[in-house]
A = this chain, B = another copy of it.
Amino acid sequence: MRVLGIDPGLTRCGVGVVDGLPGRPGKLVGYFVVRTDTGDDIAQRLLHLDRGLTDLVAEHRPDAVAVERVFAQHNVRTVMGTAQASGIALLAGARAGVPVQTYTPSEVKAAVTGSGTAGKAQVTSMVTRLLQLDAPPRPADAADALALAICHIWRGGTRAKIQAAALAAARRSPR
C-alpha cells in the first residue's frame, strides 16, 4: 500500500510518501515541503497549501492519507495556524476520496522508535534507517511526515481492518 503522510504546518507543511506492507521495511517514494509566505494573508496561505497538497495527492495516488493530530495545549502562539493547516490537509485527502487517518505525535514516535516520548533526532534517525536512505530527510517536517506514513502502514492497516470488521458486525446486528 502507498501512504501519504502529512505533518501539518502553515509555514512549512511536510509531506512524505512511502510504499510498504505491515512488518516489512517500507520504500521511499518521495518527500516534499509545501511552504507558504508569512507575509501573505491567511486565506491566500491556506489556498496555496490546499493547491500544493491537492497536487501531491493527485500525483501520488496514495491508498491512504495519514495526518498528525494537533493539540490545543502545545505552542499556543502557532497552534491556530497549525490547526487550520491540518484542516486543509484532512480536506485534501477527503476531497480526493482517499481514506484519511489521524495519529497523535506519540503514536507516530512509538511506531518508528518504540518510544512515545522519543525526540525529533531519534525519529529522523529511525526514518532514515527504516527507509534505507543515504542521508536524513531535511527539513524535520519531511522526516515527521515520512514517520506518519510508516506509522500508518504498520498500525493503520490493522486499525482499518478492525474498524471494517466492527462496521460489518454492526450492519449484521439488528438495531
User: B-contacting residues of A (Cβ < 8 Å)?
Assistant: 41-44, 46-47, 50, 67, 70-73, 76, 79-80, 83-88, 90-91, 93-95, 100, 102
The one of B43, B73, B94 in contact with A90, judged by C-beta atoms closer than 8 angstroms, is B43
Specify the main secondary structure of chain A where it touches its partner: helix
Closest B residue by C-beta to A98: B43
Nearest CB in chain B to that of A92: its residue? B43
Closest-CB distance, A86 to chain B (whole angstroms)? 6
Residue A100 contacts which of B41, B67, B100 (CB distance < 8 angstroms)?
Answer: B41
Q: Per a CB cutoff under 8 Å, which of B43, B44, B47, B84 touches A83?
A: B84
Asked whether, in the complex, the Cβ of A91 is within 8 Å of the Cβ of B50, the reply is: yes
CB distance from A61 to the nearest CB of B (A): 17
B70 near A80: Cβ-Cβ < 8 Å? yes
